[in-house]
Amino acid sequence: MAFTYKGEQFYLNGSPFTVRAGAIHYFRVPRAYWQDRLRKLKECGFNTVETYVPWNYCEQKEGRFDFSGEKYVATFLRTAQQLGLYAIVRPGPFICAEWEAGGLPAFLTADANMRLRCDCDMYMQKVERYLQRLFAELRPCLLDNGGNILMMQVENEYGSYGNDKAYLNRLVDIYRECGITCVLFTADGVCRNMVVSGSLPERCLPFLTFGSHTEQAMRSIEYAAKNTPKMCAEFWCGWFDHWGEEHHTRTAEEVLCDFEPFLRHNWNFNFYMFHGGTNFGFTNGANYEGGKYMPVVTSYDYCAPLNEAGDRTELYYKLRETFIKYGVSVPELTTSDSKKAAYGAVELAERAYLFDSLPALSASVCSPYPLYSEELGQSEGYTLYRVAVPAGMERENLFIDGLADRGIAYLNGEKLAVYDRNLPAPDDVFVQSLDGEKRLDILVENRGRINYGREICDRKGLRCARLSYAALYGWEMYPLEMRDLSGLTFEHGCAEQTEQPVFCAASFSVQEPCDTFVEIAGASCGFIEVNGHNIGRFNNDEGPQKALYVPAPYLKSGENRIIVFCFSGVSAQAVARFTDTPILG
């Protein structure tokens, strides 16, 4: 098979072909549901699936690649091919996608000399190693090799970041040297300066990203895509949420008003998102605007045709009707939405205190001065910084410099204050040790690395803690990635209110595993693990999301186990409530 273009028309095996793609990120959907989501894409009227590949999902620790299980992108693509869908793949190395650091691994910024997204030798050596390994997985999936990949993107919205054409050209060279024979493209915002900075028209097709004013946007690319196919690489049907904001919604009518011109003019498009899914674990990204850090919530519902749980929305059915209206052959509906269950309330009566559990979670690292989490070899989670305040110190203000993102200070286990990168440093937090040496603990939460803009080199942890002007030295640090909680020892029947960081747990019985949503009462923020699956962060203080999605494949018939990490403590009556509906606003 061959996918080519001549003039403004794509051709598949010599016949005119219009790309009708929908975005489904395999890394935001449980593998057990890949076929269901892809079949619903096909039955809506789309002919192609688009997905990013996050570098930090494949290579979280430097040199350790993992394409197994949920991370096996080639299986996702083959599943799509079996259903008769073609594919577009966007391997980065930077993807944005509201994903942690835009897909860039944390180990890149362990060295302060690193320069990202440019033709820096230190960076490019690691990029080339990643792409070589990834393309070994993807080459068999190319259309030329009997697979279904039509096109691949080079970088992502680079014109919003820089204009290093040597960098972009080197990426194209790596693609071609690795046997990537398919059509290549770049994608940038509608702004002319972005397209000029981020495109390579002589080597890649220049595509656009936008969510409204379709006629105007598609006409605007003519200067760059002269006599070549035009495409919207991301048509945004909705938007994502930050903690502390209102939930974003958009009516089906509004979306269709901006979408219909694609069908009327037979333009190529990628509908972003067709199915948003979930930022499981600690995978959410963050934005930074006007000096404010804004982490993205766990849900990536995106107001898409399929909601977070994969259910068809009003927009799905109206899209399908619109495809039919314009003569697109649409298959019959054969899929159904998943069964939901409200399992009720589960009392979180078991406790394991973080400060008592450190040996089961991490090995300490000692340094005269604090190290950022990246310098500790840590990718995600929390970092505990511990230092002794010498005996005889008079009352002094405690300041924390270079904090990212949120920290709680404890003196001998008693809570002193909460620090936040978005807030002015409190000037009324005092420490003294006239009656003997004191232990100062600062627990820092990485709330998600910045995924867009100039601040993507977003190192986590803290740079310095000081008493007034004098820095504290002699640190013991615990990287807490929270990957394996099996070593925790829980006490039963001791539920009590505490301001210490604590794990709360319970066992609960399920007769039939169904999709469900879990809300935590009695704790402000933290993360939730169900049967060893980290289903993401919760933040009751900020919202808008109040309940996290728990897919049925993460449950089992019989006894199940939930563990909730409560970052800033918990009430005596903490409860996990399982409901059959999401709570997003």
The SS3 call for residue 300 is: coil
Give the pLDDT confidence score for residue 425 in this predicted structure. Answer: 87
* Percent of the chain predicted with pLDDT > 90: 97
Distance CA 479, CA 473 (A): 18
CB atoms within 10 A of CB 64: 8
Across the chain, mean pLDDT equals: 97
pLDDT band at 184 (very low <50, low <70, confident <90, very high): very high
Tell me: pLDDT of 1 over 80: no
Task: Transcribe 503-517 into DSSP letters.
Answer: EEEEEEEESS--BEE
Which residue, among 404, 392, 398, 481, has the nearest Cα to 441 in the 3D structure? 398
Give the pLDDT confidence score for residue 522 in this predicted structure. Answer: 97
Give the pLDDT confidence score for residue 260 in this predicted structure. Answer: 98
pLDDT band at 99 (very low <50, low <70, confident <90, very high): very high
What does the chain come to in residues? 585
pLDDT band at 35 (very low <50, low <70, confident <90, very high): very high
pTM above 0.85, yes or no: yes
pLDDT band at 281 (very low <50, low <70, confident <90, very high): very high
Task: Transcribe 69-109 into DSSP letters.
Answer: GGG-HHHHHHHHHHTT-EEEEE--S---TTBGGGG--GGGG
Cβ 440 vs Cβ 474: under 8 Å: no
pLDDT band at 577 (very low <50, low <70, confident <90, very high): very high
**How confident is the model over 553-562, as a mean pLDDT?**
98
Contacting residues for 565 by C-beta, under 8 A, at least 6 apart: 354, 482, 501, 502, 503, 526, 527, 528, 529
Give the pLDDT confidence score for residue 361 in this predicted structure. Answer: 98
- Tell me which of 137, 234, 374, 375 is the catalytic residue: 234
Tell me: pLDDT of 174 over 90: yes
Distance CA 253, CA 249 (A): 12
Helix (H) or strand (E) holding 192: helix 192-198
- Tell me which of 50, 157, 308, 375 is the catalytic residue: 157
pLDDT digits (tens, 9 = 90+) for 140-160: 999 999 999 999 999 999 999
The SS3 call for residue 206 is: strand
- Judge whether 234 counts as a catalytic residue: yes
CA distances, 497 to each of 353, 494, 563 (Å): 12, 10, 17
**How confident is the model over 14-20, as a mean pLDDT?**
98
pLDDT digits (tens, 9 = 90+) for 232-244: 999 999 999 999 9
Give the pLDDT confidence score for residue 203 in this predicted structure. Answer: 97
Q: Which two tokens stand for residue 461?
A: 């942890």
Give the pLDDT confidence score for residue 496 in this predicted structure. Answer: 86
Q: Which residues pair with 293 in a beta bridge?
A: 288
Task: Provide Rg for the chain, Cα atoms.
Answer: 25
Residues 425, 528, 291: CA angle, nearest 5 degrees: 30
pLDDT digits (tens, 9 = 90+) for 331-359: 999 999 999 999 999 999 999 999 999 99
Which residue, among 400, 376, 418, 467, has the nearest Cα to 569 in the 3D structure? 418
pLDDT band at 493 (very low <50, low <70, confident <90, very high): confident
Task: Transcribe 347-370 into DSSP letters.
Answer: E--EEEEHHHHHHHH---EEESS-
Give the pLDDT confidence score for residue 427 in this predicted structure. Answer: 86
Q: Which two tokens stand for residue 165?
A: 């054409």
Distance CA 131, CA 65 (A): 11
Instruction: Give burial (CB, 10 Å; 0-12/13-18/19+) of 512.
Output: exposed
pLDDT band at 535 (very low <50, low <70, confident <90, very high): very high
Give the pLDDT confidence score for residue 585 in this predicted structure. Answer: 83
Residue 429, φ and ψ in degrees, nearest 5: -105, 120
CB atoms within 10 A of CB 333: 14
Give the pLDDT confidence score for residue 355 in this predicted structure. Answer: 98
Cβ 13 vs Cβ 2: under 8 Å: yes
Q: Which two tokens stand for residue 528?
A: 């939730």
**How confident is the model over 292-303, as a mean pLDDT?**
98
- Judge whether 559 counts as a catalytic residue: no
